[in-house]
Amino acid sequence: MKIYVDAPFGKAAKEMLRAGVHPDICQFRDELEQEEMQRQALAEADILLGNPKRLDWLQQASYLKWIQFHSTGFEYYRDLQTTAIVTNMRGFYAEPCAETIVAGLMALYRGIDRFSVLKRDKVWTGIAARPQLQLLQQKKVIVVGWGSIGKRIAKILEGFDCEIFVYSRSLPEALVRTPEQLIEALPKMDIVVACLPGTDDTRGFFTTQMIRSMRPTAVFCNVGRGNLLEDEGELVDALMQGRLGGAVLDVTAIEPLPSDHPLWSCPNTILSQHTGGGYTDEHGGIVQLFLENLQLFKEGKPLKNQVQLHRGY
């Protein structure tokens, strides 16, 4: 069995993987110096672990029987024609992503973003900051997208006695199920958490009208997809002009953000730089799921986290 790995693994994760797949042949893209060797290793592989940049090479990898992405999202690969089984990291990033969003919200409410900058400058403002601080307790929150991240955020926010609303097209209990209902609900919300997957339906889903429907004290969070907003410039303007209270953005339309991007200058904004899913044991966790799925694959059993490329989930 030939396995081709194109993932940003460090030494520990590679060793864990090599120990687990022995005696299969395991080749890592970043250990193959020449591009041609990389292309060839992928072309001969039975199994792919990771997310190759070169779509053309992947399209030609005709021996592939199984693709395990190291991400949850896979929109980049939606037009790939393949008979391989495809699996993703669904659910795996829920905890870190949920924690990053709650951390960002709490930082805004409790001033931790400002205190971090003051610490760097060694400036004490003390008591003067107190009237600007807010509480997460009992805030009204709408979770837009009821996947694993949204569910986890909602569960954590229960501990703060927040009132949780859900936007979901498919969840029968969701009170907010259409964009029109969402626009109606937004003016009542203190916090809007967008955690939608990257599909055709979610590109530009969050319209300018929706941004304008939020309270001037509301905080907008996005941990789903960078191009969720119909117009990111409208979000920038709303933050700059104080028509919106703040934002916690793990993803943005352009990444990395260029140094002259206006989001850097927006007040009350947390930019977590697409690290929401990260944590110390991240790569070990990916290898672990891969090895579990590899065992199932060898036994001819259904794999965990199977997805349909063209459907987007």
126 sits near a copy of itself (criterion: CB under 8 A): yes
DSSP-derived pairing of the beta strands 25-28 and 2-6 = parallel
- Both tokens of 242, joined, read 């104080």
Active-site positions?
Answer: 225, 255, 274
Of 178-237, binders to a copy of itself (CB under 8 A) are none
Strand-pairing partners, residue 221, are 193, 248
- Residue type at 179 in one-letter notation: P
23 sits near a copy of itself (criterion: CB under 8 A): no
Strand order in the sheet with 2-6: 25-28, 2-6, 47-50, 66-68, 85-87
106 sits near a copy of itself (criterion: CB under 8 A): yes
Strand order in the sheet with 140-144: 163-167, 140-144, 191-194, 219-222, 246-249, 269-271
Of 69-98, binders to a copy of itself (CB under 8 A) are 95-96
Q: With respect to a copy of itself, which residue has the nearer C-beta, 26 or 266?
A: 266
Are 230 and 207 spatial neighbours (Cβ–Cβ below 8 Å)?
Answer: yes
- Both tokens of 269, joined, read 């904004």
Rg, Å, the chain Cα set: 22
Q: With respect to a copy of itself, which residue has the nearer C-beta, 104 or 147?
A: 104
Binding map of a copy of itself across residues 139-168, x = CB under 8 A, - = no contact? ----------------xxxxxx--------
11 sits near a copy of itself (criterion: CB under 8 A): no
Choose, by CB under 8 A, the member of 59, 62, 132, 306 that binds a copy of itself: 132
The distance of closest approach from Cβ of residue 150 to a copy of itself in the complex, given in angstroms and rounded to an integer, is 15
What is the C-alpha separation between 166 and 186, in angstroms, rounded?
11
The distance of closest approach from Cβ of residue 273 to a copy of itself in the complex, given in angstroms and rounded to an integer, is 5
Q: How many residues at the interface with a copy of itself, by CB under 8 A?
A: 64
Are 191 and 153 spatial neighbours (Cβ–Cβ below 8 Å)?
Answer: no
Per CB under 8 A, residues contacting a copy of itself are: 8, 10, 95-96, 99-100, 102-104, 106-107, 109-120, 122-127, 129-137, 155-160, 255-257, 259-261, 264, 269-275, 277-280, 282-283
